[in-house]
Chains A and B, each alone.
Chain A
Amino acid sequence: GENVEQHPSTLSVQEGDSAVIKCTYSDSASNYFPWYKQELGKGPQLIIDIRSNVGEKKDQRIAVTLNKTAKHFSLHITETQPEDSAVYFCAASGTGRRALTFGSGTRLQVQP
């Protein structure tokens, strides 16, 4: 089955700096890569996703890049704000009837 690895496990940045979280996946058939943000006591919230026919996608301060050859994808958050502090999860899924496989999460702390 699919295996997703995520790094780093914790990340501390100063407000206004950029944050980058990286994930690798094992199943070359995977073609859908979402990112979720989870705040304490709440459910994961989808923040951006990318499909394998696209190399990069942006939504305001958030961008995701995908390298299918290397089987890795990354989340980039620019101009970080204290409210970006949360745990971020990457995930991957393949074609057919498959659920998402999640990475282990990155705890992002934005220092004001």
Chain B
Amino acid sequence: NAGVMQNPRHLVRRRGQEARLRCSPMKGHSHVYWYRQLPEEGLKFMVYLQKENIIDESGMPKERFSAEFPKEGPSILRIQQVVRGDSAAYFCASSKESGNTIYFGEGSWLTVV
């Protein structure tokens, strides 16, 4: 049973470009969470989605960031017009239901140059 799959693992973008990070949850999981981790820091919640619905986006910056989890296909975290401060590891996690055990992927490392 495959775990949470994230791609790309590493992404380099120039300032002003767009970054798209993908996440396929574990099989049978319909809840997806995105977290950001700055170097040497903890995990900060960004957004929580269920299929076709955003449940909680209280941790998402108001501008340039968006997330979706369509009925078919992976969840996408999109960062428009990236700036150097967006350089971080972005982790996706999934659970079967709300309140169930949450499993993390291996992360996508974004570097903005």
Contact = CB atoms under 8 A, between A and B. Distances in A.
Nearest to A36: B104
Interface string A30-47: 001010100000111110
Given A44-B104, A45-B104, A32 B99 contact: yes
B65 interface: no
Interface stretch (B14-22, B42-50, B66-74, B78-86): B42-50
Q: Is the interface of A mostly helix, strand, loop or mixed?
A: loop
B104 A99 contact: no
B45 A42 contact: no
Contacts of A18: none
A36 B91 CA distance: 13
Contacts of A101: 45
A2 to B, nearest CB: 10
Contact of A42 (B44, B102, B106): B106
A43 B35 CA distance: 11
Given A89-B43, A97-B48, A43 B104 contact: yes
Contacts of A96: 98-99
Nearest to A93: B99
Nearest to A95: B99
B56 interface: yes
A43 B106 CA distance: 4
Contacts of B98: 96-98
A100 B45 contact: yes
Interface of B: 4, 6, 33, 35, 41-45, 48, 55-56, 58, 91, 98-99, 101-107
Please list the 6 inter-chain residue pairs (A to B) with the smallest Cβ-Cβ separation, ordered nearest first. Answer: A43-B104, A43-B106, A102-B43, A99-B48, A104-B42, A44-B104
